[in-house]
A and B are shown apart, each in its own frame.
Chain A
């Protein structure tokens, strides 16, 4: 037992920061989510009313957000998987360059990217300008910006490097010997991918999906700036409860509902991926 004290002591600063900056506030808001606000004052009455209201008043945006997050996470994870697969197995000596290129996009900040896509997709943007020059349209059209597709593109572009990292981690760890051994034992290229490569990528796929899904489901800035009225993410409403309506309990209840939903989706996906990629 004395042996285990050392690591605990070393970990305690990190635990301390985590407890003070995350666990305590989260616990506080969890308690608050059961309270009420009357005339802009916090009333300590424990009731489940806030949670009921989430489902009656906000189930639309909640569901939309989860669906959007799922679409973004699946697209990004799929694209990143393809990209990393090429880097690991096909690109040879160009692999480091390709990976560096992907990581390079991290240098521009989050907001920079949002504005970049606004510039590309907007009325006076590159896309419209090129279409006009090409003579395909006469006046700028506004279909590119302020819709869910714009949100998917913007978030996707931002999130791809984050999905690439865990996938690169797992694929980099796959050794060449077993792949050659499989070929030697009669496996086709498809067999090698399905039986040897894919099962070893499981944790990376789940990590990439989880990262991108959680980021998207909690996002509100992108929806504000490129999403328009039809693409209001749940995060926008949560933010509104805290900043405009000054209804902390409602905001907290919405946030915890989202958290619970995310847990369910991520666990379901983790299980699904495990079944889908397992060697059987």
Chain B
């Protein structure tokens, strides 16, 4: 299954139960958690509630403070302010070995002088779990990640994907209240990453744990999480389910960072929005600069007689633009068209279902979309 298709499917069908809605006391509660490095604020005050069985993604570009936030939950970084509670206990000042969390590190952090079995057994050994119980749980954890046959290998003899599995088994064996994953799949190649994503989903489903993971990959966040926190410059800019984040981005940043989007600057006055690029449409709200966000797959591209008639000839129910086809990018399950409108280039994608009719580069086209398929965000481009 391609990810493009899966993303589409998820935006159409809401996944799982609504996060946090009407449920009991959250398992993890962050209140005003802040982190400063000297004068630099890496994480502005964050409030977050993670419930049991949640699969939360902290999503953002590198340097947005997402890893700092995760490390504060794990106890590797002390917050400069705020409190962290896990299972009703204040753990803000507790070291990692005294928290009911376990972390899968970005570099895996396997012990290079130990075998796979010793790696996985390590936490149980420290916890003085009896040898029989230890062996049983280690076997169980290795089976969960399909690594039974590698139990006696040394850690450096493993490939990236295998090391990833062992790192996962080593934390799962501890049965943590909360499993933290720091860019768990970032070092894997694309195909392996997809496989591991599916396995992670499967593991989360079968053990019913609470997972919090950090990623810069929006597709990964969408594919795994039932709740996503989008971070930018140390602040949480939007929080919600994947469908909500993708379908109703709160800011221009979220719109472009989570999935592709065409942004159209405009101005609203008296319930009517005039886009700088031409068309206008009715939209209630406060007067001022706005941005219309249109996903590439929401735009219809027409050629031939329709194009000859021009945007003005389209019906009034759609927002339409005249353009010229600049490039065609085949993506496999879909095709991306780049269309020049004035000095702008607009991306349009179309799912491939059969043979693609030949289109000539340079030909005139009409782009159009339904007002219902766009999201209007208050605020224009950053000054």
Query: Which residues of A line the B interface, CB within 8 A?
Result: 175, 177-178, 180-188, 191, 195-196, 199-200, 279
Contact = CB atoms under 8 A, between A and B. Distances in A.
Given A183-B95, A184-B171, A186-B123, 4 more contacts: A181-B109, A186-B97, A200-B113, A279-B111
B127 interface: yes
B1 interface: no
Interface string B242-268: 000000000000000000000000000
Contact of B111 (A178, A184, A188): A178
Interface string B156-173: 000000000001001100
Contacts of B108: 177
A36 to B, nearest CB: 52
Candidate in A177, A186, A188, A191 with the most chain B CB atoms within 10 angstroms: A186
Interface residues of B, number: 28
Contact of B112 (A180, A183, A191, A200): A200
B122 A175 contact: no
A177 B107 contact: yes
Contact of B96 (A175, A183, A196, A200): A183
B323 interface: no
A178 B76 CA distance: 13
Contacts of A279: 111, 113-114, 118
Nearest to B167: A181
B114 A185 contact: no
A177 B170 CA distance: 14
Candidate in A177, A183, A185 with the most chain B CB atoms within 10 angstroms: A185
A186 B127 contact: yes
A184 B114 contact: no
B184 interface: no
A209 B379 CA distance: 68
A212 B21 CA distance: 68
Please give me the 9 A-B residue pairs with the lowest Cβ-Cβ distance, nearest first: A177-B109, A185-B123, A181-B109, A186-B126, A177-B107, A184-B96, A199-B113, A186-B97, A178-B109
16 contacts: A175-B107, A177-B105, A177-B107, A177-B109, A181-B109, A181-B110, A181-B170, A183-B95, A184-B171, A185-B170, A186-B97, A186-B123, A187-B97, A187-B122, A279-B113, A279-B118
Candidate in B107, B111, B127 with the most chain A CB atoms within 10 angstroms: B111
B123 to A, nearest CB: 3
Nearest to B176: A184
A145 B191 CA distance: 71
B174 interface: yes
Contact of B126 (A177, A180, A187, A199): A187
Contacts of B110: 178, 181
Contacts of A185: 97, 102, 122-123, 126, 170-171, 174
Contacts of A177: 105-109
A64 to B, nearest CB: 38
B74 interface: yes
A196 B111 contact: yes
Interface of B: 74-76, 95-97, 101-103, 105-114, 118, 122-123, 126-127, 167, 170-171, 174
Contacts of A200: 112-113
A259 B212 CA distance: 60
Nearest to B122: A185
Candidate in B101, B105, B107, B113 with the most chain A CB atoms within 10 angstroms: B113
Contacts of B127: 186
Contacts of A180: 76, 96, 103, 105, 109
A186 B96 CA distance: 7
B155 to A, nearest CB: 9
B275 to A, nearest CB: 49
A194 to B, nearest CB: 11
Contacts of B107: 175, 177
Contacts of B126: 185-187, 191
Nearest to A202: B113
A184 B122 CA distance: 11
Candidate in A182, A184, A199, A279 with the most chain B CB atoms within 10 angstroms: A184
A85 B102 CA distance: 27
Contacts of A175: 107, 109
Nearest to A278: B113
Nearest to A196: B111
A184 B100 CA distance: 9
B113 A184 contact: no
Candidate in B75, B126, B174 with the most chain A CB atoms within 10 angstroms: B126
A184 B114 CA distance: 17
A118 B383 CA distance: 73
